[in-house]
Amino acid sequence: METNSTRRSKPNILITGTPGTGKTTTASALAASTQLRHINIVDLVKEKNLNHGFNDEIDLICNEINHMMELGGNIVDYHVCYFFLEEWFDLVVVLQTEISELYDRLINRDYSDSKLKHDIECEVFEVLLEDAKSSYSEDIVKPMKSNTLDDVNSNVDTLMAWVQGWQPNA
Ligand code: DAT
């Protein structure tokens, strides 16, 4: 039987989580330590001018990355996880941060009060973890704490070891 990863020689990883949990920090460090390509979806939307209202944007993002995802070897970094094709990913990492620490990080961003409140509530209620579990097979969903820079280093080490051990059709 053809499995999801049959056509890929390298794995695809999704790194998701509430804004501020460290997706970009973790994804860029992991890309620097592996042969994988970091795809930051927020940057991609800006670079390719894909911002045409959320429903159109979803289709445009998926069309834009489809070929790269079929080839494999990507780390996708985005705070929404449910609309990507399930078959694209071999591992879905959900970064999680303690609320007081996340608040300190987000307060430095130019967010409105309602956006700040929304993001903090997302983290309190583990919305991204629930979205990931309902969108992908639970055995590929990996929650990881991201409270300190030591956590970033240890998460990157863990993920590097996983990438090195990954085999097509495993
Ligand atoms: P995201 O991509 O999830 O929005 P980020 O990588 O841009 O988050 O990080 C937001 C800020 O927090 C940035 O200043 C780096 C810092 N940071 C990220 N992960 C951290 C961690 N585990 N410990 C301490 N600071 C972290």
Strand order across the 74-77 sheet: 37-40, 74-77, 12-16, 91-96, 141-145
The answer to whether residue 5 scores a pLDDT higher than 80 is no
Q: What is the pLDDT of residue 6?
A: 59
User: Any idea which residue has 């967010």 for tokens?
Assistant: 111
Q: What is the pLDDT of residue 38?
A: 98
Q: What is the pLDDT of residues 27-78, one digit of tens each?
A: 999 999 998 999 999 999 999 999 888 788 999 999 999 999 999 999 999 9
Q: Average of pLDDT values for 144-149? A: 98
Q: What is the pLDDT of residue 127?
A: 98
Distance (angstroms) between ligand 1 centre and the Cα of 2 equals 38
Work out which ligand 1 atom sits closest to the CA atom of 25: 6
- Domains in the chain, please, with CATH? 4-163 (3.40.50.300)
Q: Pick the closest to residue 91 from 152, 142, 39, 34 (CA basis).
A: 142
Q: Taking CB atoms and a 6 Å cutoff, what residues make up the pocket around ligand 1?
A: 17, 19-25, 105, 146-149, 151-152
Q: What is the pLDDT of residues 88-144, one digit of tens each?
A: 999 999 999 999 999 999 999 999 999 999 999 999 999 999 999 999 999 999 999
Cα separation values, 112 from 79, 109, 116, 118, Å: 17, 9, 6, 10
